């Protein structure tokens, strides 16, 4: 009997212990909070900045004076007075073509001119004495004029057979050699005056009212990555191209050491106006097909912070900051890192050690 009572008491103690344990466990679960912990993010404040307005374009660098030296006459090259890449002076003799025939013709025409001049002088004196007819006098005058014209033509041909530099500059690669036969239009070499460079470029027609001579231009070329060259707007074309609806413009490069004609350049023209824009770090904007979104950090109902998504209209990005055209006020606090963990109304904790 005692053994039976002992077993019953033991079982009762076990059940009471189990019940007490379960009661404590269930009470703890009932009082526990299942709310998600705050999401850690980085944040920054939207600021109001004054951004200078600019217009981007592309263009080609050219020398203010740059030409192809060509021959106006045909003939054999008998003298070359320059080497490829030489610096040449204005009126320097570059190439001479075979001119022996023209020199001989000139001597003959000079003799003919002297004879025609003597004949005209004689007839002029005889006409005063009525010793010669007016027709003979007129004929001698025409012979004199013809002789002068023939000599002038030969002198012009001789001049054309001596190719000279029309201005000082740097000669390009020589395209002819001694003994070559050249025809009119044959290129002898290029000649570029590298002391003054210009750049031609096109802009959309709607930019025309904002353009004025003297406006500052920054340009870059692939040959010098990261280097900025300075130019100033010189002139605008007098009409819009009816095919492209673009306006041709030309600028003078004021700081162009190292640049060469023919280089392709990227330009940024500053019309001189500026605009106040709300800007945020570029990482604060999440781009999607449904719109561009930023997450605003606002006080929550429990005294903490919450993140709320907001659709904004974005502008351009400069130096790591994106302009916001609509949808966001200055001094708003936005999330700059950790957006992939956010959803509407989520509680957040800002990591102040992350600065963007």
The per-residue pLDDT for range 94-147, each reduced to its tens digit, is 999 998 988 899 999 899 989 988 988 888 888 787 777 888 888 888 988 999
Residue pair 293/281 in contact (Cβ under 8 Å)? The answer is no
β 169-171/39-45 pair status: unpaired
Give the angle subtended at the CA of 149 by the CAs of 145 and 154, to the nearest 5°.
150
* 292-299 and 305-318 strand pairing: antiparallel
Cα distance between residue 325 and residue 79, in whole Å: 68
DSSP H helices in the chain: 2-31, 100-128, 134-160
pLDDT > 70: percent of the chain: 90
How far from the centroid of its chain's Cα atoms is residue 268's Cα? Answer: 7
Confidence label for 149 from pLDDT (cuts 50, 70 and 90)? very high
Query: Who wins on pLDDT, 27 or 286?
Result: 286
Which is higher by pLDDT, 262 or 39?
A: 262
- For CA atoms 284, 288, 292, 298, the dihedral sign is negative
Out of 186-190, 304-308, 340-344, 351-355, pick the least confident.
351-355
**pTM of the predicted model, to two decimals?**
0.63
Query: If we measure between CA atoms, which residue out of 46, 39, 40, 41 comes closest to residue 282?
Result: 46
Contact 249, 219 (CB under 8 A): no
Cα separation, 19 vs 15, in Å, equals 6
| Predicted local confidence at residue 61, as pLDDT | 93
Query: What pLDDT is stored for residue 60 in this prediction?
Result: 93
Percent of the chain with pLDDT over 90: 33
């Amino acid at each position: 009997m005692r053994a039976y009572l002992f077993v019953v008491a033991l079982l009762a103690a076990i059940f009471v212990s189990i019940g007490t344990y379960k009661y404590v466990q269930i009470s703890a679960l009932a009082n526990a909070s299942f709310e998600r912990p705050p999401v850690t993010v980085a944040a920054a404040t939207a600021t109001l900045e004054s951004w200078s307005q600019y217009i981007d374009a592309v263009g080609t660098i050219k020398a203010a004076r740059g030409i192809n030296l060509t021959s106006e006459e045909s003939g054999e090259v008998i003298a070359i007075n320059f080497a490829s890449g030489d610096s040449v002076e204005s009126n320097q003799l570059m190439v001479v073509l075979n001119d022996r025939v023209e020199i001989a013709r000139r001597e003959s025409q000079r003799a003919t001119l002297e004879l025609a001049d003597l004949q005209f002088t004689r007839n002029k004196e005889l006409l005063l004495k009525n010793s010669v007819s007016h027709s003979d006098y007129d004929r001698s005058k025409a012979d004199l004029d013809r002789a002068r014209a023939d000599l002038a033509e030969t002198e012009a041909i001789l001049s054309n057979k001596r190719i000279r530099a029309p201005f000082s500059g740097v000669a390009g690669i020589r395209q002819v050699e001694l003994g070559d036969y050249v025809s009119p239009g044959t290129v002898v070499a290029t000649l570029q005056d590298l002391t003054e460079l210009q750049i031609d470029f096109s802009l959309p027609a709607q930019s025309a009212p904002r353009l004025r001579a003297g406006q500052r231009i920054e340009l870059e070329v692939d040959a010098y990555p990261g280097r900025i060259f300075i130019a100033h707007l010189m002139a605008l074309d007098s009409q819009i191209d009816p095919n492209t609806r673009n306006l041709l413009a030309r600028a003078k490069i004021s700081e162009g050491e190292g640049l060469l004609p023919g280089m392709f350049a990227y330009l940024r023209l500053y019309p001189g106006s500026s605009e106040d824009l709300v800007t945020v770090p570029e990482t604060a904007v999440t781009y999607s097909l449904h719109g561009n979104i930023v997450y605003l950090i606002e006080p929550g109902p429990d005294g903490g912070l919450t993140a709320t998504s907001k659709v904004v209209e974005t502008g351009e990005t400069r130096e790591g900051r994106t302009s916001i055209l609509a949808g966001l006020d200055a001094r708003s606090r936005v999330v700059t890192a950790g957006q992939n963990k956010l959803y509407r109304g989520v509680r957040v904790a800002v990591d102040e050690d992350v600065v963007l």
